[in-house]
Amino acid sequence: MGIFLSKRELAATQPAETVGFGSPVPTRMVSNGEFNPLPQTERQRQFEARLKELAEAKARKLGTTRRNFLRTSCGMATAFVALNDVFGPHFAVSPAEAAEPEAAAERAERFKGQFILDDQLHFVRDDYRVEDILFLAKYANQHWDPGLLNDAYGLSLERYKFHNFLKEVYLDSDTKIGLLSGAPFDNQAEWFLTNDQIRQAAELVNSIARSKRLLFHSVITPKQPGWMEEVDRCIEVVKPNSWKGYTIGDPLNVKTTKYPWRLDDEAAVYPFYEKAVKAGITTVCIHKGLLPADYATAIPDGAWKYATVADLAKAAKDWPQINFVIYHSALRPFAESPDPALARFEQTGYIEWVSDLAEIPAKHGVGNVYADIGTSFAMAATANPRFCAALMGTLIKGLGQDHVFWGTDSVWYGSPQWQIEAFRRLEIPEDMQKKHGFAPLGAADGPVKTAIFGGNAAAFYKLERHAEATPWENDGLGLIKAAYLGHGPAPSNTAYGYVARG
């Protein structure tokens, strides 16, 4: 990921890590720098106030501080109680979970073994020096996870490096398997990790675990000099599980990007598909959406159009052997409060760019188009849970529940556990189900959420037997996690990114 925001837009943000209090569920929208964080809405302010009120009262009864209470399972449950109090009953949570440590612990124990495959993870190499990405932490702290920066890392690149990635993803969350990704930039110094470093990280994690715990991408850069030679080298030497591309070109410098490209470019990109099919590496993950609110005027020469899914249908139809996974579900964040955006959905049933993606299978007769919900789910769940329900309903109705993948974009925003809990508890309201023909999401361990959390991607990456048979608590990472939890640590409740000022 990169920074799409202009200097003017960045000046309107603050580090997510240094603003607000440590809520287990963000009380503001947090941006990773690819889109404008919205200011805290009135209902988000109400949610934050309600959470403080409930947490203060419950902490007193338990003889602890509010900060410590919010780092417990009871604190997490209380956050969803507060969300329901303000936004309506979108999340399944019982009063007992929020008040009784035993009840909260029982629920956490019930789901700790749930198979979760996060198909969108990031960290940066040890010698990374491009501090622009710290705006991700600023954004997250202000909009999603106040208090994020109130830890030993502060506002530094250390929080985005391997050691913290390992802790936040594998020790502080229920994630079992991850997929490590990267991002391309015109300036090679800005790459988070090279393709070789991505592979080496996966090999290291899997050697520690003595099990397959980390899959990995190789990044493609169509039209850049030597890019096809790098594809050949990756096929021969790196052997990735799948490919990652950004049709927008350089996501860190989108206004000066030199190499935007289209999925359906027969001259430039189709020869890559031929190589991918021949090599048997046929999953192509593509960043789409997540543009700033003023994208149409801020990005010159119409380059923003490369971030839509207008190029997807033809490529999918021409290449049925290729599986196209659209990251972020192509969601273009709101240029306004989510409330009017939701109102427009209620009237029209349309979500900008997401609905375009969801309609492709029916309109074009293809079955090789998939959606990843990384960042989009996080943004929607905290800004407006009802809109989040609409997002999930739209994707599942259009693509099918077996074509939606779980992703969180961690470690940009800290531990993914709060996102996991939000999806476990989220339900599509009955009136929305009836009006728009959405099926319910069901129980946390029901067929829909089980498929999205990991079943779909496990089948995709041929890990079904591994997912079913592996006793996660007994491999190398599982033993490390047991020792870690045995020392009684609590989550930091830290989010990394940008939040709006004010």
What are the residue ranges spanned by the domains of the chain?
Answer: 117-473
Residue 154, pLDDT score: 60
3-class secondary structure, 119: strand
Percent of the chain with pLDDT over 90: 63
Q: Which CATH number fits domain 117-473: 1.10.10.10, 3.20.20.140, 3.40.50.300, 3.90.190.20?
A: 3.20.20.140
Mention every residue, 6+ apart, whose C-beta is less than 8 A from residue 106.
none
Mention every residue, 6+ apart, whose C-beta is less than 8 A from residue 120.
179, 181, 327, 372, 374, 407, 408, 409
Q: What is the mean pLDDT of each run of 10 residues along the chain (502 residues)?
A: 55 65 79 64 90 93 92 93 95 92 92 96 79 62 63 66 92 96 85 93 95 96 96 98 95 81 98 98 95 80 92 98 97 66 90 96 98 92 91 98 96 90 98 97 98 95 84 92 84 67 61
Rounded to 5 degrees, φ, ψ at 141 are -65, -40
Give CA 123 to chain center in angstroms.
Answer: 13
Span 474-495, pLDDT tens digits:
999 999 999 988 877 777 776 6
Largest CA distance in the chain: 68
Residue 110's CB: how many other CB atoms inside 10 A? 11
Span 152-183, pLDDT tens digits:
566 566 777 898 899 999 999 999 999 999 98
